[in-house]
Structures are given as C-alpha cells and as structure tokens.
Amino acid sequence: MDKVQSIPRSEAAEVKGLNKYLYKAMDWLGLTSGIGIIGIGAWWFIWCLFNYIFVSPQNVMQQQIHE
C-alpha cells in the first residue's frame, strides 16, 4: 500500500485576511462553509439596511447620501 504524502506546512496554503475571520465565525456558529457565508452575508446586508434607515448621519457626506 502506498503512503499518502502530506503537504509540508511551509507549502500549505494559509487562510488570510477576511476569510480567516469568516472561517472562525462559521466555526464558532457551527455552520458549514456555504450556509455560513450566506448567513453572514445576509446578516451584514440586514445590518447595513438597518443602519441606513434608522441611524442619523454623522457628517456632511453622510447627510448628502441620506437625503
């Protein structure tokens, strides 16, 4: 039987940036990758809509966009 060679740690692709935190959040919530990304994206979208509708602008640029 042939042994399966594992990839050395130095050559293995590391998860970086936003993906690293997405994977941590999905692991903490106990979600699979597809469901986790969709769930986190939906939560982000709803949160942005909530902020856009109910939070008052804090500076001139936000005031122009808000109007």
**Is pLDDT at 65 greater than 70 in this prediction?**
no
Please state, in angstroms and rounded to a whole number, the distance separating the CA atoms of residues 9 and 65. Answer: 48
Sequence spans of domains, the chain = 18-66
Of the chain, the percentage scoring pLDDT greater than 90 comes to: 0
pTM for the model: 0.41
Please state, in angstroms and rounded to a whole number, the distance separating the CA atoms of residues 13 and 20. Answer: 12
Banded pLDDT at 61 (limits 50, 70, 90): low
Determine the pLDDT at residue 39.
78
Per-residue pLDDT tens for 14-41?
A: 767 777 887 787 788 777 767 777 877 8
Joined tokens for residue 13: 């692709």
Give one DSSP letter per residue of 8-54, joined into a string: PTTTSPPP-THHHHHHHHHHHHT--HHHHHHHHHHHHHHHHHHHHHH
